[in-house]
Amino acid sequence: MNVALILVLYGLAVAALGPVVLRRAVWLERAPRLAIGCWQALCAAVVGAVVLAGLTVVVPLSALGTDLALFLNACVLMVRAAYATPGGALMASAGLVVSAGIAGRLVYGVGAELLAARRERRRHLAVLEMVARRDVALDALVLEHDIAAAYCLPGGRGRIVLTTSTLAALDERQLAAVLAHERAHLRGHHHLLVAVARGLARAFPGVPLFRLAAGQISRLTELAADDAAVRAADRLTVADALLALADGRVRPRSALAASGHHTGDRVRRLLARTAPLRAAVIVPAGVLALAVVVLPVAIAAAPALAAAGQNYCVLP
């Protein structure tokens, strides 16, 4: 029970303090991929801590034994003792309900988001195949439209979509930057990162951390794609291309777009010409993010580690 309480308190602390720390970090925009990993680590730590808390109540013992027969015999006795009283059985049932409920909501939320996005992309692509033309040189679909927009439809048949107004508004270098941006989305499978974050927010709408993470991960994937575009063109060219596409909201919700998404902030970031984050910051931040996820597992496993080499079970 003590272990379960510690895990719940840990999850609450991460959910409350993690977003405050991350949103105040000044380096996030300089390393968007690392920042995405940090937001994912917070979400995984909270979900993992609460699920593990329930499981430690359901199975009120954790042990590693050197003798399998003695280990199994001792563990069976400990389980019987724990479930012998009404309070123990009720507590175990509550733990099972909590763990199963969280796992079920997680599968529902993420699964529903992935399926909905997939259906929307397929419907949109079916329409595009009827009204858009294929540009072999650009490896993109070109849609006749009076608004400049560029976006990609990820998935097995990933497609980049450009409007005719985009082709008219951008010069050759700007167009290359936009294409590099969209290809970075496809290559990095950014749609999966966004869908999982949105799925968590859908499954647990009452948890502010998950809502914040969904918005931040969506924004950070655009910054990561902007960085890829900078490798294909200079920063000023990428900024000009983004400004030319600033009003381009001709896209489905499930698409990832260079156009019309936090354009002002992204242009300011490009023009600031901030240096990439140094390894002296990246490595500790990555280790800390990993530790946030691993710590609840270590807490749950602590009684087992303490009993390693012994032939009896210990209560957590």
Instruction: Give the C-alpha distances (Å, rounded to integers) separating 265 from 56, 219, 226, 243.
Output: 45, 10, 12, 11
Specify the pLDDT at position 84: 53
pLDDT tens for residues 137-192?
Answer: 999 999 998 888 889 988 777 899 999 999 999 999 999 999 999 999 999 999 99
pLDDT tens for residues 243-271?
Answer: 988 876 666 777 787 776 678 888 998 88
Is the distance from CB of 263 to CB of 246 less than 8 angstroms? Answer: yes
User: 210, 160, 218, 217: which is closest to 187 by C-alpha?
Assistant: 160
In this predicted structure, the answer to whether residue 232 has a pLDDT above a threshold of 80 is: yes
Contacts of 144 (CB under 8 A, 6+ apart): 131, 132, 163, 164
> Which band of pLDDT confidence, cut at 50, 70 and 90, is reported for residue 71?
very low
Residues in the chain: 316
* C-alpha Rg value of the chain to the nearest Å: 25
User: 15, 11, 4, 35: which is closest to 207 by C-alpha?
Assistant: 15
Specify the pLDDT at position 287: 93
Burial of residue 45 (number of CB atoms within 10 Å: 0-12, 13-18, 19+) = buried
User: 315, 309, 306: which is closest to 65 by C-alpha?
Assistant: 309
How distant is the alpha carbon of residue 72 from its chain centre? Answer: 39
Q: Return the structure tokens found at 70.
A: 């003695």
- Would you state the torsion angle of the CA atoms of residues 189, 193, 194, 198, taken in this order, to the nearest 10 degrees? 150
In this predicted structure, the answer to whether residue 309 has a pLDDT above a threshold of 70 is: no
In this predicted structure, the answer to whether residue 63 has a pLDDT above a threshold of 50 is: no
Instruction: Give the C-alpha distances (Å, rounded to integers) separating 178 from 153, 201, 203.
Output: 14, 30, 34
Average pLDDT, the chain: 82
> Which band of pLDDT confidence, cut at 50, 70 and 90, is reported for residue 79?
low
Cα–Cα distance, 258 to 184 (Å, whole number): 11
Alpha helices (H) in the chain, listed in sequence order: 2-24, 32-58, 68-83, 86-131, 164-169, 172-187, 190-203, 208-230, 235-244, 263-272, 279-306
